[in-house]
Amino acid sequence: MGGDLGPSMVVDGAALALSKDSACRFVMFGDETQISRELTRHPDLKAVTVVHHTDVRVSADDRPSQALRRSRDSSMGLAIQSVRDKEADVAVSAGNTGALMAMSKFMLKTMPGIERPAIIGLLPTSRGVGVMLDLGANIECDEDNLVQFAIMGAAFASTILHLERPLVGLLNVGVEELKGNESVRNAAEKLRGMDLPFEFVGFVEGDGVAAGAVDVFVADGFTGNVALKASEGIARFIASLLTDVYRSSLWTRIGFMFVARGMRRLRTKLDPNKYNGGVFLGLNGLVVKSHGSANAAGFASAINVAADMVRDDMIRHIARDLERLGATADSAQHRAVS
């Protein structure tokens, strides 16, 4: 029931995701009449979908605390419950982010070895696709949070970007060891001392994101959120400037015909729908937040990312890495002591 476009977008998105990944099965929570009406347009989807009716919904302006009171019976709450109770493998929602995170934390709890869940997302880079976390779940982060984000982010990149040894960097104001605040400096020192299943390259500056300096960009939720949104903003700004150029005369319209294919490729490369889906990492269950303004193609991307995580059993992947690194860190301490 979430998102600016409501159930019709969600159902269309599910149909599109199913056409790309026929193994998907759906459980939909919300107004049964509305959902069933939308489903009649997609018989293939309808055949693999169960609808659970509820009248209660979390609205876009509900505070997390208000939303929590509707955990038991709202469409959002029921979707997360279905993950907790193993009826579903992953929940995908286009609803209120704060409410979704609060309910997910409350119902799924954080994994052993993780203090705080983080939100991770995909982004276009000149080397292909990168991932960044945290995108806003944690406003202030200490060194251990950042180390845990690095481990979870690398596991996510392995799964979703199919990288054997992802490159991981900490966002900072400079690449020298002495730069930045205490959290990033200490996190870097800890990561350098660990026997990691990924390549920790150290600090990366803001312009390294689009340049694809690494595969996994790690930051506190304040920095990550502002940096990602600033990048989205400038990309949208340039797109609107290009539209102005196109529209300025008959000649420019003719000119753009010659470059139409290239511009389409460029637009595809930067299409926000391709990078839709903020994944909650660090919980005992998978939850994906679709952008509220996503269209069906964007919602389908979020579902397809969700299905890939399920197929690769990403939570086990993270748990395994954490356990191994926990053991390594302990034995390193033992060595240091003995």
The DSSP result for 56-70, as a single string, is: ----TT--HHHHHTT
Contact string (CB under 8 A) for its own copies, positions 59-78, x = contact: ----x---------------
Contact string (CB under 8 A) for its own copies, positions 114-153, x = contact: ----------xxx---------x--xx-------------
The candidate with the shortest Cα–Cα distance to 306, out of 85, 149, 79, 53, is 79
Q: Which of 20, 269, 311, 320 binds its own copies (CB under 8 A)?
A: 269
Stretch that binds its own copies, among 46-54, 81-89, 192-200, 238-246 (CB under 8 A): 238-246
DSSP label of 290: P
What is the smallest separation between the CB atom of 300 and its own copies, expressed in angstroms? 23
Q: Which is nearer to its own copies, 178 or 337 (CB)?
A: 178
Instruction: Give the type of residue at 149.
Output: F
Q: Which of 48, 50, 234, 327 binds its own copies (CB under 8 A)?
A: 234
DSSP label of 142: -
Q: How many residues bind its own copies (CB under 8 A)?
A: 59
Instruction: Give the type of residue at 290.
Output: S
Task: Count Cα neighbours of 135 within 13 Å in the Cβ-side half-sphere.
Answer: 26
DSSP label of 170: E
CA distance 285 to 80: 9
Q: Which of 263, 311, 320, 327 binds its own copies (CB under 8 A)?
A: 263
Q: Is 173 in the site for its own copies (CB under 8 A)?
A: yes
Q: Which of 235, 297, 310, 329 binds its own copies (CB under 8 A)?
A: 235
First-to-final CA distance of the chain:
58
CA distance 202 to 185: 9
What is the smallest separation between the CB atom of 21 and its own copies, expressed in angstroms? 29
Task: Decide: 298 and 13 in contact? Cβ < 8 Å.
Answer: yes
What is the smallest separation between the CB atom of 89 and its own copies, expressed in angstroms? 29
Cross-strand pairs, 130: 123
Place of tokens 């940096």: 227
CA distance 290 to 94: 5
Q: Which of 240, 335, 336, 337 binds its own copies (CB under 8 A)?
A: 240
Q: Which is nearer to its own copies, 46 or 179 (CB)?
A: 179
Q: Which of 8, 197, 246, 272 binds its own copies (CB under 8 A)?
A: 246
> What residues make contact with its own copies under the rule CB under 8 A?
63, 124-126, 136, 139-140, 171-173, 178, 180-181, 205-211, 219, 221-223, 225-238, 240-242, 244-246, 248, 251-252, 254-259, 262-263, 265-266, 269-270
